[in-house]
Structure 1
Amino acid sequence: MAEAFRGEIDTKVDGKARVSIPASFRRVLEADDPDRPEASRPRVYMVYGGKTRNFVECYSKAGADRLAEMIEEMEIGSKARDRAEREMISRSVMIEIEPDGRIVLPPKVRAKLGYGDSESTSGTEVTFVGTSDRFKLYRAEVYYAEDEDDDDDADVDPLALIGRARRAG
């Protein structure tokens, strides 16, 4: 991975369910898709699986390949692998980014974000949330409501949590 997905970026969705991928995220997607055929556009892999998830997890080509490799290392026929394949591979879609940096949100992605069949996306906002090797796409009001409720570790410095995880690993 050349660079990382970083930051929280809000952007509008138009009435045709089109959204612009932030330029910094597009640069990572381009760098992580170097073997695409000439003149083809960079790709983003959008995972809409997971019943308890209220976001769509997005990967570059290299990131999607790493995810598939991790799943392939799991025991064939195990319930865990079957679930991972279903939720992370089968319930995903690959989208090519338009030359202007936009994508059209596919129907299953729109449904995952909470847009009903009759509800227009026009004027709504989504939030791109960088998480280093991938990013999450939330309906903006869902992301910020969840962020307000997230006070589980209010007394713990995030660097202390990282230190604990490193010592445990």
Structure 2
Amino acid sequence: MAMAEAFRGEFYQKVDSKARVSIPAAFRRILEADDQPLGETARPRVYLVYGGKSRTFVECYSRRGADALAAEIEAMDMGSTERTRAERDLISRSVMVEIEPDGRIVLPPKVREKMGFQGDDLASGGEAAFAGFTNRFRLYRREVYDAELAEEDDDDTDPLTLVGRHKRSG
């Protein structure tokens, strides 16, 4: 099943002292379209993947995106080292969060830890960066995102020349 729309753009949002952050409206619309709530009290959800030691971000999926990722992992060889690692880092080390009616979510402790929001960081206020990645978006602490963008190697390659080089099989 195709995704409703691609997550696009960069957004910056304040994280308050209670670890709440507003999901950008453009991303919220996609999350809502990919997770039709059943019943009056059900809310759309976002799936936050905080696994992966070298990752400096949290990977965020709609319900449909999270289900597609799980299906890809289930297609891997049972018991293989690769599948076990994928299950551990992408399934076990993830959390589903309901989106409040006002568009905010509360960042769970493991997500805050991955983003580097600890104790005093929240009291003084911080900022999160939301970065669209087609079928998912990444959530960073703003300083980390800005530093990674500044470090990116600009090798004068036009990014359009990279598109289509690696077609997926299947």
Aligned twin of 1:65: 67
Tell me which amino acid in the other structure corresponds to 1:157. Answer: D
Provide the secondary structure at the position in 2 that maps to 1:119: helix
Aligned twin of 1:37: 38
- Matched length: 166
TM-score, length of structure 2 as denominator length: 0.93
Structural mapping, 1:16-165, within 5 Å? 16-34=18-36, 36-39=37-40, 40-120=42-122, 122-151=124-153, 153-165=154-166
Provide the secondary structure at the position in 1 that maps to 2:38: coil
Contact 2:15 2:122 in 1 (8 A): no
Provide the secondary structure at the position in 2 that maps to 1:77: coil
Unpaired runs of at least 5, structure 2: none
Q: Residue deviations 1:101-140, cap 9 Å, x none? A: 0000000000000122453254210000001100000000
Contact 1:11 1:127 in 2 (8 A): yes
Percentage of matched positions with identical amino acids: 64
> Structure 2: how far apart are the matches of 1:140 and 1:38?
36
Provide the secondary structure at the position in 2 that maps to 1:27: helix
- Give, in angstroms, the shift of residue 3 of structure 1: 1.2
Provide the secondary structure at the position in 2 that maps to 1:165: coil
Change in Cα spacing, 1:13 to 1:65, as seen in structure 2 (3 Å) is same
- Give, in angstroms, the shift of residue 92 of structure 1: 0.3
- Give, in angstroms, the shift of residue 55 of structure 1: 0.1
Tell me which amino acid in the other structure corresponds to 1:55. Answer: F
Unpaired runs of at least 5, structure 1: none
Alpha-carbon RMSD = 1.4
Runs of 4+ in structure 1 off by over 2 angstroms are 116-123, 163-166
